[in-house]
Chain A
Amino acid sequence: MPGFGLTMGVTAFFLTVMVLIPFAGLIIRACGLSWHDFWKLATNARALAAYKLTFGASFFAAIGNVIFGTLLAWVLVRYEFPGRRFIDAMVDFPFALPTAVAGLTLANLFAENGWLGKFLVPLGIKGAFTPLGVVIALTFVGMPFVVRTLQPVLEHLEREVEEAAATLGAGRLRTFVTVIAPTLLPSILTGFALAFARAIGEYGSVVFISSNKPFGGEIAPFLIMMRLEQYDYTGAIALAVVLLVFSFILLAIINLLEQWASHFQN
């Protein structure tokens, strides 16, 4: 086949310019820091608070996505109801919508005079400018992940296995818990990890809905922004490296999970 030289050359060029050099730049700069300084910048009180919010909110958002995502995937695959195709298409909406718009509209909805806030705030559920708001925004952003990961798996589920369980006397709920759920577990975990990874790096939507105040309203990416604005480059870089390390660990875990999932299905 012709064209290897050309295409490989273009590919290598783009990769170098767009990926390798930017990464290298960051790593080189980070290495310029002494270990002591790095540690101080990466783990000062404000940074720790940012990690707490980022990882905590991401975790809960991912859990929420698992619960409702599994439900949604099940309902979309197994049942027929009016509007099914529409909902199926709309599941990708959080992915197609720019994050800034997502944050804007969610903050507005849950604010005191918003459509939902009107009812929820008097009940004590403050969804705007609070950590809860961050969870809401991250749930929105991560929604397609669990659903889209589970749908193909559900579709290829052998119905005969469920029938076999029924012939052996298992009722519907029991069949779901003992036969179906274990098969779905690897994929559910994968979806969780994907949603979690996405949530950790999320910036746009959170910025609109969070109070962004340090020690409780500030997520890690926002802190990076703040440090940049104050020309604290080294501080920003230290934090960025921490986030990168976590992202790569998560990436490795996700790859392992996916291998486990495909091994299980065969």
Chain B
Amino acid sequence: MAGHVKKKSNGDSHRQSRRGTEESPVVKWVLITIALAFCMVFLLLPLVNVFAQAFGQGWKAYLRALVDPDSWAAIRLTLIVAAISVPLNVIFGVCAAWAIAKFNFRFKSMLITLIDLPFSVSPVVAGLMFVVLFGMNGFLGPWLQDHPLHLFGKEIEIKIIFAVPGIVLATMFVTFPFVARELIPIMQATGTEQEQAALTLGASGWATFWHVTLPSVKWGLIYGIILCNARAMGEFGAVSVVSGHIIGRTETMPLRVQSLYEGGSAASGAAAFAVASLLALLALVTLGLKTLLEWKQTREFERSQQAVQPVRHNETAFLKREDFR
């Protein structure tokens, strides 16, 4: 740098308050450009491509693809599976977070490790676990087949594998930790003081939970639900193993995308993208809600100093590392 003719510091010092501790503008913009190029290729292009291919055969074909009975069945099934597995995981998550955050007991870290386990398992292996349990050669499969349910005078065979219950179980397994992992740190951070205060004022356990605990974790909870839902609707590997790919009956949307794709024709290809575009839309909505939540959370935190410190200290920590597995 010695010997360079530098610009007068008067002009640009109001823009930069540091010198010698920042990269030169050239370096900065080269780095930015490379990073942006990488994002373009790996993030934006794939996204745009989904929609481009979906509408490749025109609007009408797009709508027809979605209304197709088998595709519609897949959409319905995905929604049903999510509607069952997400609330159940929420119940689990809330209970686990309450037990872990508000009490002290010996095997707590073992508990947390167990909750985390589904994260480190490949989805196919997860599906395999349920096949081992409920498949025809599995532990419970034959037993279930020999013992159908007698309800309302009818005999109802309980099929898990190659049927909806199996899909629900597999989806639940894969999304099991999400809500719990979201809530535990938040509840641990808030401590038990507020709840104890409520109890001293005469509130019952339920009332305390409903009026004191829930509001303090509401953003984390909503966030966990959104995450859990996105993953539940998009799960492929585990569901692929347990569903049997029965078109019209046990295909979720991701599976439908696959069967359409393998259909071979241009029309089915475009149809695959059509269904995929709905899932991509789901992803965008998820991201949008996440951004909205974080914005709301920082605003609420700024407004009231007594509020609980949000677990995410910056707007970019969408995922803690535990969410990744």
Contacts and interface: CB of A to CB of B under 8 A. Distances in A.
Main secondary structure of the interface of B (DSSP, over half): helix
B95 interface: yes
A89 interface: yes
A98 B173 contact: no
Contacts, number: 303
B176 interface: yes
A189 B133 CA distance: 37
Contacts of A49: none
A147 to B, nearest CB: 8
A135 interface: no
Contact of A145 (B44, B176, B324): B324
Given A26-B128, A224-B124, A104 B39 contact: no
B99 A203 contact: no
Contact of B324 (A2, A71, A95, A100): A95
A65 B37 CA distance: 14
Listed residue (B39, B46, B169, B315) with the most chain A CB atoms within 10 angstroms of its CB: B46
A18 interface: yes
Nearest to B19: A166
Contact of B234 (A98, A203, A236): A98
Nearest to B319: A148
B34 A71 contact: yes
Contacts of A198: 324-325
Interface residues of A, number: 101
Interface in A159-216: 159, 162-163, 166, 171-172, 175, 190, 194, 197-198, 200-204, 207-208
Nearest to B294: A89
A48 interface: no
Contacts of A247: 120-122
Contact of A11 (B99, B123, B241): B99
B316 A25 contact: no
B216 interface: no
A93 B96 contact: no
Contacts of B22: 172
B139 interface: yes
A82 to B, nearest CB: 10
A140 B44 CA distance: 11
A85 B192 CA distance: 36
A205 B92 CA distance: 29
Given A18-B172, A101-B276, A251-B120, 14 more contacts: A1-B192, A2-B199, A6-B95, A14-B96, A18-B173, A26-B125, A68-B35, A94-B42, A100-B276, A104-B50, A104-B272, A105-B276, A201-B125, A243-B125
